[in-house]
Amino acid sequence: EAEVALVGRSNVGKSTLMRELTGHSKFDTGGKPGVTRQPNHYDWTAEDFVITDLPGFGFMSGVDEEYREQIKTNIVHYLEEYADNVLVGILVVDGKSVIDIIDRHSGPDEIPYDVEMFHFLRDLDVPTVVAVNKMDKVDDKDERLNELCDRLGLYPPWKQWQEVIAPITAKRGQIDPLNEAVRTHLHEQGRDD
């Protein structure tokens, strides 16, 4: 069955978004970061594909480096194996902190997770949408989104990339830009029946 895959660092609001997308309420939110470790499949409301929640990656308290790397490796393997089946990849980031985190982890020998994952999905030919969550906490929204484009190698302004950059506030159910962007990609693939 065709699927939409959700990836993102821990605590960006992936569970909250899943709840909004699926209408289910059984997801753990606000609990321990990184509790979702296995790929989980849920049916997207009223659509004929499943949505896969891949484990959160990056820092998690009480989880050692080796285990973190293992989680990341699992995600990469999963995506490589199922790339042909994945209609759209959704990379969820925290709009409040994403630029700081990317810049902190950028260096001659270091590529930040979010940037790496974005390019990895695109290299696999998986159409990718970046769901920029927690926009309710961002003051200068345009500036933040332009900066994100810059870090991802997309030429600003972000408004040119609305099928890629989707500012949302999952907590309040404000996810229309994401639905629109996903729909655009499904449409391109002739799956918007």
**Residues between 6 and 45 that touch ligand GDP (CB under 6 A):** 8, 10-16, 29-30, 33
**In the 3-class helix/strand/coil scheme, how is 57-106 assigned residue by residue?**
ECCCCCCCHHHHHHHHHHHHHHHHHHHHHEEEEEEEEECCCHHHHHHHCC
Indicate the angle between helix axes 65-82 and 113-123, nearest 10 degrees. 20
Question: Which residue number is nearest to ligand GDP in terms of Cβ?
Answer: 13
56 near ligand GDP, judged by CB under 6 A? yes
Q: How far is the CB of 160 from ligand GDP (least distance, A)?
A: 24
Closest approach of ligand GDP to the CB of residue 100, in Å: 16
Query: What sign results for the dihedral spanned by CA atoms 124, 131, 16, 174?
Result: negative
Which range binds ligand GDP by CB under 6 A, 70-78, 130-138, 145-153, 183-191?
130-138
Residues of this chain that bind ligand GDP (CB under 6 A):
8, 10-16, 29-30, 33, 56, 133-134, 136-137, 169-171
